[in-house]
Structure 1
Amino acid sequence: MNRYTNLLVAIDPDHEEQPALSRALDIARKSSAGVKLTLFLAIYDFSYEMTSMLSAEERQAMRSGVLRQREEWVASLVTAQDTQGVEVIPHVVWHNRPYESMIAQVFDSNHDLLVKATHEHDKLGSVIFTPTDWHLLRKCPCPVLLVKEHGWPENGKILTAVNVSSENETHIPLNDKLIDESNAMSKLLNAEVNLVNAYPATPVNVTIELPEFDPASYTDAVRGHHLLEMKALRQKHGIDEAQTYCQEGLPEDVIPAVAKQLDAELVILGTTGRVGLSAIFIGNTAEHTIDQLNCDVLAIKPDGYVSPLAPNLS
Structure 2
Amino acid sequence: MHSAFYHLLVIQQQQSNDELALHRAIALAEQYGSRVTVFQSFYKRLQPIHHNSVSADNELAGFIGQFRQDILQRAGRLTAKELQLDVVVSWRESEKHAISQLIEQRDISMVITPQHCKRNLLPLLANSLEHYLISDCELPVWLVKPGQINAEINVLACLDLEDNPGNNSQMNEVILDISGELSHNEQQLHVINCYSAQHCTMSLPYSSQSGFEPLPDIAKQHSDKLQHVTRRCGIPADCLHLQDGLPDDEIPKTVQSLHSQLAIIGNNHMHDISSALLGDTAHYLSQHMPCDVLVIKPTPGFAAAGR
TM class by shorter chain equals: 0.7 to 0.9
Which letter does structure 2 place at the counterpart of 1:266? Answer: L
Which letter does structure 2 place at the counterpart of 1:132? Answer: L
- Describe the shift of the 1:46–1:193 C-alpha distance in structure 2 as closer, same or farther (beyond 3 A): closer
CA distance in 1, matches of 2:158, 2:90: 35
Secondary structure of the corresponding residue to residue 241 of structure 2: strand
CA distance in 2, matches of 1:48, 1:155: 43
Counterpart of 2:27?
26
Give yes or no for contact 1:150–1:294 (8 Å, CA) kept in 2: no
Normalised to the residue count of structure 1, the TM-score between the two structures is 0.77
CA distance in 1, matches of 2:46, 2:151: 48
Which letter does structure 2 place at the counterpart of 1:265? Answer: Q
Give yes or no for contact 1:158–1:265 (8 Å, CA) kept in 2: yes
Q: Deviations over 1:140-164 (max 9, x none)?
A: 2321111112334355421111011
Measure how far apart 1:285 and its partner are: 0.9
Normalised to the residue count of structure 2, the TM-score between the two structures is 0.79
Secondary structure of the corresponding residue to residue 123 of structure 1: coil
Write the mapping of 1:112-151 to structure 2, written as runs, cut at 5 A: 112-123=109-120, 127-151=124-148
Counterpart of 1:311?
none
Q: Deviations over 1:72-95 (max 9, x none)?
A: 234213313234322322110124
Question: RCO (CA 8 Å, sep 6+): is it higher in 1 or 2?
Answer: 2
CA distance in 2, matches of 1:191, 1:76: 39
Q: Deviations over 1:42-86 (max 9, x none)?
A: 22118959x9xx76x35x975774464244234213313234322
Unmatched runs of 5 consecutive residues or more in structure 2: 205-213, 303-307
- Describe the shift of the 1:201–1:290 C-alpha distance in structure 2 as closer, same or farther (beyond 3 A): farther
Give yes or no for contact 1:252–1:288 (8 Å, CA) kept in 2: yes
CA distance in 2, matches of 1:124, 1:96: 29
Counterpart of 2:38?
39
Give yes or no for contact 1:48–1:63 (8 Å, CA) kept in 2: no
CA distance in 2, matches of 1:143, 1:197: 20
Counterpart of 2:255?
259
RMSD: 3.3
Give yes or no for contact 1:39–1:74 (8 Å, CA) kept in 2: no
Match status 1:280 vs 2:271:
yes
Write the mapping of 1:21-100 to structure 2, written as runs, cut at 5 A: 21-31=22-32, 34-45=33-44, 48=47, 57=52, 62=56, 65-66=59-60, 68-80=62-74, 81-85=77-81, 86-100=83-97
CA distance in 1, matches of 2:193, 2:22: 31
* Percent of aligned pairs with the same amino acid: 20
Measure how far apart 1:97 and its partner are: 2.6
CA distance in 2, matches of 1:90, 1:69: 13
Measure how far apart 1:185 and its partner are: 1.7
Measure how far apart 1:99 and its partner are: 2.3
Give yes or no for contact 1:103–1:141 (8 Å, CA) kept in 2: no
Unmatched runs of 5 consecutive residues or more in structure 1: 274-278, 307-314
Match status 1:241 vs 2:237:
yes
Counterpart of 1:310?
none
Measure how far apart 1:272 and its partner are: 1.7
Secondary structure of the corresponding residue to residue 183 of structure 2: helix
- Describe the shift of the 1:190–1:62 C-alpha distance in structure 2 as closer, same or farther (beyond 3 A): farther
